[in-house]
Amino acid sequence: MDYIYIGIILLLFFAANFLFQKIHIPPLLAYILMGIALSVVITEEIYILADHIGEIGIMLLFFLLGLHYPLNHLLNISRRIWQVGTMDVILNFGVTFLLAQLFGFGLFTSLIMGGVAYASSSSITIKMLEDTDRDKTPEGEFKVGLLIFEDIVAPVMVSFLVGFSIEGVISGEGIILITVRVVLLILASILIAVYGFRRLELFVNRYLAREFMPLFTLAVAFLIAGLAVYMDLSKLLGVFLAGVILSETRASDGMDSFIEPIKNVTLPFFFFWFGASISFEVGIMAPGFLLLLILWGLIAKMLIGFWGGRIYGLTWKGSLRAAFSLGQRGEFSVVIAALGDPLLRTFCGIYIVVTALVGVLNFHRAPEYAENVFCRLKKTFPGWFANTKNL
Amino acid sequence: MVVNVVIVGGGRVGRELAANLSEKQQTVVIVEKDPEVAKMLKKKLDVLVVNDDGANMATLVKAGIRNAGICIAVTQIDELNLMVCMMADRAGVPTTIARVRNPEGQSNIADTGFSKDEIGVDHVINPERELALEISKMLHYPEAAEIEYFAGGRVMMVATTVTEDTEITGYSLKDVPLPQGCIIVGIKRKDGSFIVPSGEDTVMVGDKVYLIGNVKVMRKASWILHHRETIVKNVVILGGDTVGFTLASILENNPDRKFKIKLIEKDENICKELNRKLTKTMVLHGNYSELSYLNAEEISEADALVTVSGDDRTNIVAAIMGEKLGVKKIVAELTNNEYTYVYDTVGIDNYVNTHLITAYKILRFTRKGDVLALSHLKEQNAEVMELIVPESCKAAGAKVKDANFPKGMLIGTIVRGEEIIVPYGDTVLQPGDNLIIFTLTSISRKLDTYFC
C-alpha cells in the first residue's frame, strides 16, 4: 500500500470541498465527480480501499442518524409513513417496470430498470439534509422515514432480483423468508432497546467521557450491522437500528461528538467510490427511453415527496420542499444495476449519475423552488388555499 | 357556617383563593414567606397575613391550623405543599388540598405505596393538567368561548357571543326558538352588565349568552346561534412544557376524534424528550419567539392554535399571528392577568388563565354539601355548580317556584337518573336530584342555606 495515494486523495477531497463550498455547490457532488473523472486512472487497490473506508463512512452516517431517533419517535413516524412507502414502490418501481415493458424490453431488464429507479439515495439525502441544516425540519423527518422504508424494502427487492437473475424464476419462499428476517431484526432491536439499553443509561452516562466508550459504541454498531448482513439484510438498516438502540441510553449527543469526526474523514471516500463504480463500458442503448426514464424518475419522486408529504402531515410548502429533495438515486441503484449485462449497466450508470446530480442541485435549491411553485399554485388554484393566508 | 381556611403560599393562586373565600365570608389566613408579597397581600386583601415560613409547624399553629377546617398549600414548591398538608393533617385539619405541578410528583404519591389518607393529602390539584383539560374541551367545541361539562359529560354549559347571523335576537327568552333540552341561564350585555335572565328578557347582538343543557341538543343550539360548525382537526401547539405535553397526550388519546397534532418547541432537549413520550404528535423544533418561516407555515394551515409557551408576550404575539393567518380557533394561555386587556383589545377572547382555573378547582373542595363540580366563569361574577339535593334540605320535595330561591340564580338542568330535565316553575325537586345551577357569585354562598 502506497500511503502517498491516500494522502493525495485526502488532499483532493479537501481542495474540492473547499472550492465547492466557496461556489455554494454541495461538496458531495465534487466527490462523485472526482470518482467519475478518476475512475479510469485509479488502481484496483485504491478502488477497494475507497470502497472499504467509504463503507465505514456511510455506516457511521446511518448510525449517527439512528442515534437521534429514539424508538418511540421511530414508531411514531412509521405509523404515518407506510402509505407513502407503498406509493413509492408503485410509482417508482411499478410504473418504471411497466414503461420498460411497454417499450419492448425483456422481463428481467424491466425489473432491473424498476429496481434502479426505485430508491432515493439514502447517503446523498442524509448528507444533504445535514449540509443544508434541514435535518431537524418536519420534511427532514419525513424523508428519513421514507428512506428507512426504502431500506427495508430494498433487500427484499435485491433478493428477488438476484434469485430471478440466477434461477430465472421468482421464489415466493425467498421473499417471505427475507421479509420474516426484516421483521425479526426490527423486533429484536426493539426488545434489545427496551429491555437492555434503557437499563444501561446510568452506565453509559457515567463513563461517556472515558476512552473506552467509543469502542463500546462502535462495537454495538458493527455487531448489529453484522447481524443484519448475516441475515442477508441491509447493513445500513442494521447500523441505523444500532443507533436507535443506543439512543435509548439518552447519551446520543455525547456519542455523536466522538463518532462525527471519524465519519467526516471516511464518508467522502464513499461518494468517491460511488462515482468511480459507475460503469460506462459500452455505448448507450435507447437514449430516448433513457431520457424518458430520467424524466419519469424525477417526476415520480416529486409526486411522492409532495403527495406523500401531504399524507404524512406536512404543510404545502413543506411537501413542495420534500418534492424537490428526493430525486437522487445512489448506492442501492448501483447494486441493482450490477446484476445486468454491460449494456444495461451503462444505461443504468448514466441514469444514476444524472439523477444524482440533478437531485443534489434540486435539493440544494428546494426551499426557493418550493416558494415559487407555492405562489404559482396559489394564484392558479386559489380555492385549494382558502384556509392558508400569508402574514 | 364560617370555615377557617389556612392558605400557605400567597402567589396568584393563593391570592385568588383568599379573595374569593373572603368574599364568601370565610375566615382566611394566608402564610407567605416573602415579606414584599406579604406586604402587598395585607394591602390588597381583607385577610390575616402571617409573614413566615409555611414549612414550619410553629408558623402553621400561629396561623390557626388547629382550628382550621381547610388547609390549602399552593406554594411554588410541590414537596413543600405536600409537607404542609401532612402537618395540617397531623394537626387535625379535616380537609387538606395540595397543588402539585409536576405530574410525575402526583403519580409518585401512588408509587410510595401510601394512600392519600396516610400521607395526609385529601385532594391533589395539578394546574397544568387542569389547564390542558380545559383547552381540550375548547378544541372539541370551537364555537364556544367557555365550556364546562357536568353530570359525567351528559350536561354542558356553553358561553358564546351572539352575532348578526343568529336566529334568537328579538325574541323574549320564553319564545326563543332553541331546541328542547337547553336554556339560556346568563347574559353578559355589551356594556359589561351581567344578568340571570327571566322569560321576559331579550338577547341582543353582541351579548355573550350562557346556555346549559343536554349535550345531545347543544350542537343543534349552537347551529341556531352561529349558523356554522367548526371542526378542529389540525392542531398546532406552541410550547412543549407540561401544559403543551399534557394537552398533546390528551388529544392523542381522544377516542372520539382523530386530531393531527403538531407541537412546536424551541428547546431541543425538550423536543427530544417529547419525541420519547408522545406517540402520534409531530414534534417540531422551532424558535417561536422569532416567528420563523416554519411557524408561520405550520400555523397558517392549522384549524386551531394553542399558545402555551409559558410567556404571556410570546403567547400574545403568536395568537395575533394566528388571527392574521386565519386560524379558526385560537386558545392562549394567560399567566398574568394584567395582559387580559391586550387580548380584549386585539379581539382574542379565548384565553385561559392557569391560576384562575387552579383556584376554582380548589374552591370546589371548600364548599359544603354535596357539591360535585364548581366552575367559575371568565367574567368572574358568576359560577356554575353541580350539586346533589340532600334528603334533609329545605328544597327537597318543593316545587321550583315555591322554593324561594334568591334572585340571581337559575337551575339550568336537573339530572334524575337517566332523565335530563330543563325545569319549570312546577317542577318538583326530589332528593338525589343532580342540579346544575347558574348563579351570580355574590349570592352563591346563600345557596348553602337551601341545599345543606
Cβ neighbours for A91, distance < 8 A, ≥ 6 positions apart: A300, A303, A304
Q: Which of B189, B184, B186 is nearest to B174 (CA)?
A: B184
Q: Which of B312, B348, B306 is nearest to B331 (CA)?
A: B306
CATH topology of domain B233-327: Rossmann fold (3.40.50)
Q: Letter for the amino acid at B238?
A: L
CB contact under 8 A, B282 and A313: yes
Q: Does residue A11 belong to the interface with chain B, where contact is any CB pair within 8 Å?
A: no
Q: Tens digits of per-residue pLDDT, B26-53?
A: 889 999 999 999 999 988 888 899 999 8
- Cα A245 to chain centroid, rounded: 20
For chain A, domains (ranges, CATH) are 3-380 (1.20.1530.20)
pLDDT number for residue A163: 65
pLDDT number for residue B289: 63
Q: Measured between alpha carbons, how far is A295 from A355 in angstroms, rounded to an integer? A: 9
Helix A213-230 / helix A44-67 crossing angle, nearest 10 deg = 110
pLDDT number for residue B109: 60
What does the block give as the cell for A287? Answer: 437514449
Please, what's the b/e burial string for B172-208 (b: 16 or more CB within 10 A of its CB; e: otherwise)? ebeebebeebbbbbbbbeeeeebebbeeebebeeebb
Q: Which of A232, A87, A237 is nearest to A158 (CA)?
A: A232
How do beta strands B95-99 and B123-125 pair? parallel
Sign of CA dihedral B212, B213, B216, B217: negative
Residue A13, CA atoms < 13 Å, CB-side half-sphere: 19
Q: Which of A256, A248, A261 is nearest to A69 (CA)?
A: A248
CATH architecture of B359-451: 2-Layer Sandwich (3.30)
Q: Does residue B249 belong to the interface with chain A, where contact is any CB pair within 8 Å?
A: no
Which residues in chain A come in under a pLDDT of 50? 391
| B4-125 CATH, one of 3.40.190.290, 3.20.20.10, 3.20.20.70, 3.40.50.720 | 3.40.50.720
CATH architecture of B140-180+198-226: 2-Layer Sandwich (3.30)
For the beta sheet containing B351-353, the strands, ordered from the edge strand earlier in sequence to the opposite edge, are B282-285, B260-265, B234-238, B304-307, B329-334, B351-353
What does the block give as the cell for B409? Answer: 340564580
Residue with the bigger pLDDT between B355 and B271: it is B271
How far B425 CA lies from chain A's nearest CA (Å)?
Answer: 48
Give the chain A residue whose CA is nearest to the CA of B304.
A387
CB contact under 8 A, A387 and B281: no
CB contact under 8 A, A313 and B260: yes
On the question of a common fold for B4-125 and B359-451, the answer reads no
CB atoms within 10 A of CB B449: 11
Number of CB pairs, chain A paired with chain B, less than 8 A apart: 58
Q: Measured between alpha carbons, how far is B299 from B264 in angstroms, rounded to an integer? A: 10
Q: Measured between alpha carbons, how far is A61 from A269 in angstroms, rounded to an integer? A: 13
Q: Using a CB-CB distance cutoff of 8 angstroms, which residues of chain B are in contact with residue A316?
A: 301
pLDDT number for residue B270: 92
pLDDT number for residue A349: 83
Q: Does residue B326 belong to the interface with chain A, where contact is any CB pair within 8 Å?
A: yes
pLDDT number for residue A168: 63
How far A194 CA lies from chain B's nearest CA (Å)?
Answer: 12
Q: Which of B61, A53, B43 is nearest to B52 (CA)?
A: B61
Strand ranges for B107-233 from DSSP E: 123-125, 146-150, 155-161, 182-188, 194-195, 208-214
| pLDDT over threshold 90, residue B281 | yes
Residue with the bigger pLDDT between B14 and B170: it is B14
Lowest mean pLDDT of A228-237, B209-218, B441-450, name the range.
B441-450
Q: Does residue B43 belong to the interface with chain A, where contact is any CB pair within 8 Å?
A: no
Q: Using a CB-CB distance cutoff of 8 angstroms, which residues of chain B are in contact with residue A309?
A: none
Q: Does residue B278 belong to the interface with chain A, where contact is any CB pair within 8 Å?
A: yes
Q: Measured between alpha carbons, how far is A175 from B32 in angstroms, rounded to an integer? A: 72
Q: Using a CB-CB distance cutoff of 8 angstroms, which residues of chain B are in contact with residue A313?
A: 260, 262, 282
Q: Tens digits of per-residue pLDDT, B184-197?
A: 888 888 887 888 88
How do beta strands B434-440 and B70-73 pair? unpaired
What does the block give as the cell for A231? Answer: 441475515
Q: Which of B173, B167, B177, B182 is nearest to B201 (CA)?
A: B173
The SS3 of residue A159 is: helix
Give the chain B residue whose CA is nearest to the CA of A248.
B276
Q: Return the residue in A72, A198, A316 with the most chain B beta carbons within 10 A, the one to mutate for interface testing.
A: A72
pLDDT number for residue A281: 66
Q: Measured between alpha carbons, how far is A235 from A232 in angstroms, rounded to an integer? A: 9
Q: Tens digits of per-residue pLDDT, B99-142?
A: 887 755 455 565 566 666 777 788 888 888 889 998 998 898 88
Q: Does residue B324 belong to the interface with chain A, where contact is any CB pair within 8 Å?
A: yes
Q: Does residue A139 belong to the interface with chain B, where contact is any CB pair within 8 Å?
A: no
CB contact under 8 A, B326 and A75: no
Q: Using a CB-CB distance cutoff of 8 angstroms, which residues of chain A are in contact with residue B282?
A: 76, 138, 141, 313
B384 and B412 Cβ atoms separated by less than 8 Å: yes
B89 and B64 Cβ atoms separated by less than 8 Å: no
What does the block give as the cell for A21? Answer: 463550498
Mean pLDDT computed over B354-382: 75
| pLDDT over threshold 90, residue B73 | yes
| pLDDT over threshold 90, residue B13 | no
Q: Using a CB-CB distance cutoff of 8 angstroms, which residues of chain A are in contact with residue B296?
A: 390-391
Q: Which of A72, A75, A317 sits opposite B277 (nearest CB)?
A: A72
CB contact under 8 A, A79 and B280: yes
Q: Tens digits of per-residue pLDDT, B295-327?
A: 788 888 899 999 999 888 888 888 888 888 888
pLDDT number for residue A181: 82
Q: Using a CB-CB distance cutoff of 8 angstroms, which residues of chain A are in contact with residue B275?
A: 70, 72-73, 76
CB atoms within 10 A of CB A305: 30
Q: Which of B375, B416, B432, B402 is nearest to B133 (CA)?
A: B375
DSSP output for B249-285: HHHHT-SS---EEEEEES-HHHHHHHHHH-SS-EEEE
What is the end-to-end Cα distance of chain B in Å, rounded? 11
ipTM: 0.79
Q: Using a CB-CB distance cutoff of 8 angstroms, which residues of chain B are in contact with residue A137?
A: 284, 294
CB contact under 8 A, A391 and B324: yes
Q: How many residues does chain B have?
A: 452
How far A286 CA lies from chain B's nearest CA (Å)?
Answer: 44
pLDDT number for residue A171: 67
- What does the domain layout of chain B look like in residue ranges? 4-125, 140-180+198-226, 233-327, 359-451
Mean pLDDT computed over B385-391: 84
Q: Measured between alpha carbons, how far is A151 from A244 in angstroms, rounded to an integer? A: 15
Q: Does residue A39 belong to the interface with chain B, where contact is any CB pair within 8 Å?
A: no
CB contact under 8 A, B279 and A136: no
Q: Does residue A136 belong to the interface with chain B, where contact is any CB pair within 8 Å?
A: yes
A84 and A316 Cβ atoms separated by less than 8 Å: no
How far A391 CA lies from chain B's nearest CA (Å)?
Answer: 6
